[in-house]
Structure 1
Amino acid sequence: MDRTRIVRWLRVLFPLAALAILSVLFLLSRKPDPDAGVPYAEGGIEDLARHPGMTAPQFSTVTADGTTVTLTADRATPGEEGTAASNLALDWTTREGTAARLTAAVADQQGAQVTLQGDVDMTLSTGWHLTAPRIEADTAEGRLAAPHEVAVTAPFGTLTAGGMVLTRAAEGAQVLELNRGVHLIYRP
């Protein structure tokens, strides 16, 4: 036999052998168990249909001044007035590296405005810790504001104020402004 004849036979035999092996694999495979499927959602179908939402949503953006904003929550529910979220965490990091981590029980997002409510905690990378009943984050302007009373723990003492604004000043630095009746208890 010459080589060309052997190659011709192998061209026919190899695909037939592969087909035979695959056929045996399919014939000997197990039948699927429909009860062992992956659960897609917990809870009743009626409850899920009545209360639509997302589990573990995440939203990220960059403001006009280069601040990165990341929102994460346990659950988000869309509505006519905006999107409501529960157990929310907001990470706010400027180009210069100043970071703020905000946590809240409930939040609401309408466009570029995110409103955090329910004992909002804000921790700054500079060592400051703020608590407020409500903080509004404007991702379009790169601004955090608390319209109501704020309790602050700073490296040098404690402060209370009627409001707070964290924004970029004209010269480019981040400025934390406490306003409306600021009281300081200094601890050297």
Structure 2
Amino acid sequence: MTRTRIVRWLRVLLPLIALAILSTLFLLSKEPDEDPTIPYADVDAADMARDPRMTSPDYAGVTADGAAITLRANELRNGDGGQGSADGLRMTLRAADGLAADLTAPDAMIEDGMIRLSGGVRMTTSTGWAVTTPNIDSATDRALIEAPAEVNAFAPFGQLSAGAMQLTRDAPDGDHVLNFTDGVNLIYQP
């Protein structure tokens, strides 16, 4: 067989083989599903339409006194008059003086420049403090964190409980101070 004859046969056979492969692809394919749901969606579309919300929102900003605030949540729902509520909130405060505070809470309300974390809040600081309290209020325009209810804290030097707590600057250009009030009990552990 000469080379010309082989090329002529291949010019006929190769397109026929390609046609056979493509025809089996379409003839042996499955029937489409009658269920119109998206296979990778984990949310109920009808529920999302009834109650609009955002999943995995992320917010970052800087306060007037130079502290960086980052908010992350599992879910955020819009309320009336500029209010909002969040589930699974994680808040990070990084102050200009080097202080860092990480807060986590199951629930939060956001309104009028304040964030109210509730449902059992845990706060850890870069200075070694671990604080638990039912509620914490935090301002969005300045580095201010307040716990108006009972506070339990673990410090590098021991255990502490108090009726209230405030994390704020002691002077306009000063460092941040963690201030406990209303019946402070300290168990010193050297």
**Smaller-chain TM-score bracket:** 0.7 to 0.9
Q: Which amino acid aligns with 1:167?
A: T
Kept after mapping to 1: 8 A contact 2:72/2:91: yes
> Deviation above 2 Å: which 4+ runs of structure 1?
37-45
Partner of 1:175: 177
Partner of 2:55: 55
Structure 2 residue ranges without an equivalent (≥5): 1-21, 27-31
Segment of structure 1 superposing worse, 76-85 or 160-169: 76-85
1:39 is displaced (CA, Å) by: 5.9
Q: Deviations over 1:148-177 (max 9, x none)?
A: 010010011100001000011115111110
Q: Which amino acid aligns with 2:179?
A: E
Q: Deviations over 1:48-102 (max 9, x none)?
A: 1112100100111101110000000011111116111111100001012210000
Figure out how many residues of one structure are paired with residues of the other and give that number.
159
1:41 is displaced (CA, Å) by: 4.2
Aligned residue for 1:49, secondary structure, equals: helix
Aligned: 1:80 with 2:83 = no
Structure 1 residue ranges without an equivalent (≥5): 1-27
Q: Percent identity?
A: 44
Matches within 5 A, 1:25-174: 41-80=41-80, 82-170=83-171, 171-174=173-176
**Cα RMSD after superposing both structures:** 2.3
Q: Which amino acid aligns with 1:119?
A: G
Partner of 1:187: 189
Normalising by structure 2, we get a TM-score of: 0.77
Q: Which amino acid aligns with 2:178?
A: L
